[in-house]
């Protein structure tokens, strides 16, 4: 007995000692995440400051695309809300129908019970008492009488409860219909806003493309965008290395999955790694055809280290997979993850779009190894 008490005491002591260590570890992770977010925010501010020195048309395009993305997100959430409310209305309608049928069936029985009770009134037990001389027979009759009265009261109580519940359900139906109408009105308003944003975007994009008619000007623009991305990645790598972040949550390293990684989406590769892009500039990744709003999945476990708009790449999300590996997903319509979020392989991180000045929706996808572009073909598995 003493030995068992000693073991329990030791176990409790160890558990109590571990609690402060766990709290310290949690605070350390929290501090690391805050430092990472601050560093990324600082980089984003530098990019925004640099953007101010560039063309007015490019700034307008960015503003319109961000506004359109916000409208698309609201529309998606409202559609989900409307779907949920329609399902709830259908369920309430079913409840209402069942309650009406139940009340209708109970009407005749309850009316008869109430009429009988009214006729008998308070004299019913007295009549039983006066009509019986045998005490045992009288006890049995009283017991039966109480049973009948209880059953009658139960039916009446159930009936009243159903009537009250029907009233509650009717009120809920009315409230859901009002909420549904409100959501539909808001949805229509956001759709009109999205159409207006897209119209302004097309006008700005046409003007911007007209200002880049020569191959030289197009190449200069692409080179500037590439330089900005390289600078971003260089700074991000330095921050991530300094942070010494924990390994991805899935447990398997990025390198061990070479040739087996999931595809970010299932579209056709419009431009492959190393193919000519403009002048002496080649593609550093894949441009994959997509549908507007199509889910984009993480190719492997990792942590979001950039999630924002970047000129030339639109809404961009970058994942750190550890050991110097990163993946980039550009031209999204909507970003679903924030800086610091951990994601798993095949988890939806964004929705494909045409931001960043594309004429057709597509996903630009890159894999980086210690800052250098790598051919996705040798990393991704078969579809």
Per-residue pLDDT tens for 261-302?
A: 999 998 999 999 989 887 778 899 999 999 999 999 999 999
* Residues 269-308: b if buried by 16+ CB within 10 A, e if exposed: bbbebeeebeeeeebbbbbbbbeeebbbbbbbbbbbbbbb
| 185 & 291 share domain | no
Q: Are residues 185 and 321 in the same domain?
A: no
What confidence category does residue 71 fall into, taking pLDDT thresholds of 50, 70 and 90? Answer: confident
- Same domain for 199 and 236, yes or no, is no
Q: Does one domain contain both 340 and 254? A: yes
Residues in the chain: 383
Kindly report the CATH number assigned to the domain that includes residue 221: 2.70.70.10
In a domain, 178, yes or no: yes
- pLDDT of 21 reads 56
Assess whether 355 and 224 both reside in one domain: yes
Question: Which of 176, 207, 238 is the last residue in one of the domains?
Answer: 207
- Asked whether the beta carbons of 98 and 179 are under 8 A apart, the reply is no
State how many domains the chain has: 2
pLDDT band, residue 138 (cuts 50/70/90): very low
Structure-token pair, residue 301: 């476990």
**Residue 239 maps to a domain:** yes
Tell me whether residue 60 is in a domain: no
Average pLDDT over residues 77-95: 79
- pLDDT at residue 195 greater than cutoff 60: yes
Q: Domain containing 284: what range?
A: 215-383
Residue 327 buriedness (CB in 10 A; 0-12 / 13-18 / 19+): buried
Angle (CA) 161 166 170, round 5°: 150
**Cα dihedral: 275, 277, 280, 283 (round 10):** -50
| Domain termination residue (choose one: 184, 207, 230) | 207
Higher pLDDT, 57 or 130: 57
- Indicate whether 233 and 97 sit together in one domain: no
Confidence of residue 382 (pLDDT cuts 50, 70, 90): confident
Looking at the structure, tell me whether residues 200 and 241 fall in a common domain.
Answer: no
Domain boundary residue, one of 207, 230, 251: 207
State pLDDT tens for residues 88-111. 778 777 777 776 777 676 666 656
* Residues with Cβ within 8 Å of residue 235, at least 6 apart in sequence: 39, 43
The answer to whether residues 185 and 248 belong to one domain is no
């Amino acid at each position: 007995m003493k030995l068992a008490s000693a073991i329990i005491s030791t176990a409790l002591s160890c558990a109590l000692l571990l609690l402060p260590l766990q709290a310290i570890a949690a605070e350390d992770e929290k501090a690391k995440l805050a430092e990472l977010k601050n560093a990324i925010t600082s980089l984003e501010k530098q990019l925004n400051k640099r953007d101010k020195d560039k063309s007015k048309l490019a700034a307008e395009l960015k503003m319109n695309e961000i506004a359109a993305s916000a409208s698309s997100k609201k529309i998606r959430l409202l559609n989900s809300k409307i779907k949920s409310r329609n399902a709830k209305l259908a369920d309430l309608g079913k409840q209402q129908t069942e309650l009406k049928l139940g009340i209708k069936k109970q009407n005749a029985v309850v009316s008869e019970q109430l009429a009988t009770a009214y006729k008998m009134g308070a004299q019913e037990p007295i009549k039983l008492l006066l009509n019986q001389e045998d005490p045992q027979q009288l006890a049995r009759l009283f017991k039966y009488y109480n049973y009948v009265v209880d059953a009658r009261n139960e039916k009446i109580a159930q009936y009243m409860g159903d009537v009250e519940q029907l009233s509650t359900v009717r009120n809920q139906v009315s409230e859901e219909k009002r909420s549904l109408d409100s959501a539909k009105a808001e949805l229509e308003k956001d759709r009109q806003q999205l159409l207006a944003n897209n119209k302004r975007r097309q006008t700005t994009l046409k003007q911007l493309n007209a200002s880049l008619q020569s191959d030289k000007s197009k190449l200069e623009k692409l080179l500037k965008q590439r330089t900005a991305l390289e600078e971003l990645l260089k700074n991000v790598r330095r921050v991530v290395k300094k942070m010494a972040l924990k390994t991805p949550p899935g447990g398997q390293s990025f390198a061990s999955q070479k040739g087996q990684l999931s595809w970010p989406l299932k579209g056709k590769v419009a431009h492959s790694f190393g193919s000519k892009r403009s002048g002496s500039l080649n593609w550093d990744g894949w441009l994959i055809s997509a549908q507007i709003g199509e889910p984009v999945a993480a190719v492997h476990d990792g942590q979001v280290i950039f999630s924002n708009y970047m000129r030339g790449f639109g809404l961009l999300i970058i994942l750190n997979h550890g050991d110097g590996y990163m993946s980039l997903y550009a031209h999204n319509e909507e970003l679903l993850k924030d800086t610091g979020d951990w994601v798993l392989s095949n988890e939806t991180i964004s929705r494909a779009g045409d931001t960043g000045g594309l004429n057709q929706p597509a996903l630009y996808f890159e894999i980086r190894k210690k800052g250098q572009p790598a051919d996705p073909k040798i990393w991704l598995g078969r579809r």
